[in-house]
Structure 1
């Protein structure tokens, strides 16, 4: 018997707590984050950075269940953001400290990752919830 897909609230709670942990590691308040579960699970963190080539635009860290983490520069509301770099690897839920290093390295011009995402195998919602399980049982700022 195949396991049942998790309910949307469980997935959303785990993702929201994970994103708050990433926000804390990156140094941004939880108020600068959003999480959405629809046909695709996504997250957004507004960063207090400016990109050297686009100093008038905000920098954001975005996550998708299909691509993982990406650093991007916001554009006009009707346009897609300009992606600067993707955090490589197959792991859709890397440790918050690893995401913080990705942001710091990319901002400093040291990120060796690709500007285009590698092909990431889409995880099932069950698999994604399992990856987020460590964040389900505790508040993001409490000890593990």
Structure 2
């Protein structure tokens, strides 16, 4: 049976919210330091409160999009694009949270940034929701 578009969006939002909370827990970011948005593009934001080498006065964020996967970037003025420090080096849009935490640690140390990669392997929203669904039971009380 096919689910409706609103059902798919709810499933995607629930799954992405749970996944982002699992990533945040692995990195040590409190729940209030995260956001998830489903619009024309599904996106997530995690504010990294750790000091960042070479950027002591800047806020650094970990962002996710269904088109690019994970990116570490410096927050800039609202009218400016963020400065990308590192991109997830693999093709997987939903890597395990522990691997994302290692990616952030490596990026902070200047290792394995994958900065030249622009997009992840595209998947449909239905497939993405299915991949994210595995995180929902683990954190369903937080979503």
Shorter-chain TM-score above 0.5: yes
Q: Distance in 2 between matches of 1:119 and 1:19?
A: 19
Whose helix proportion is higher, 1 or 2?
2
Say if 1:86 and 1:113, in contact at 8 Å, map to a contact too: yes
Q: Which residue of 2 aligns with 1:36?
A: 37
Q: Which residue of 1 aligns with 2:116?
A: 116
Q: Which residue of 1 aligns with 2:125?
A: 125
| Of 23-32 and 48-57, the range deviating more from structure 2 | 48-57
Say if 1:51 and 1:73, in contact at 8 Å, map to a contact too: no
What is the root-mean-square deviation in Å for CA atoms of aligned residues? 2.0
1:42-61 matches, within 5 Å, as 42-61=43-62
Q: Distance in 2 between matches of 1:113 and 1:33?
A: 22
Q: Distance in 2 between matches of 1:115 and 1:139?
A: 31
Which structure 1 segments of 5+ residues have no match? none
Q: Which TM-score applies when normalising by structure 1?
A: 0.88
Q: Which residue of 1 aligns with 2:88?
A: 87
Q: Distance in 2 between matches of 1:52 and 1:137?
A: 36
Please state whether the residue corresponding to 1:62 is helix, strand or coil.
strand
Say if 2:89 and 2:113, in contact at 8 Å, map to a contact too: yes
Distance change (3 Å), C-alpha of 1:26 and 1:18: same
Shift in Å, 1:121: 2.8
Q: Distance in 2 between matches of 1:130 and 1:41?
A: 14
Deviations 1:20-72 (A, max 9, x none): 00000000101000000001000000011333333221000000000100000
Distance change (3 Å), C-alpha of 1:57 and 1:118: same
Distance change (3 Å), C-alpha of 1:140 and 1:113: farther
Q: How many residues end up aligned between the 2 structures? A: 140
Whose strand proportion is higher, 1 or 2?
1
Which structure 2 segments of 5+ residues have no match? none
Q: Distance in 1 between matches of 2:64 and 2:140?
A: 17
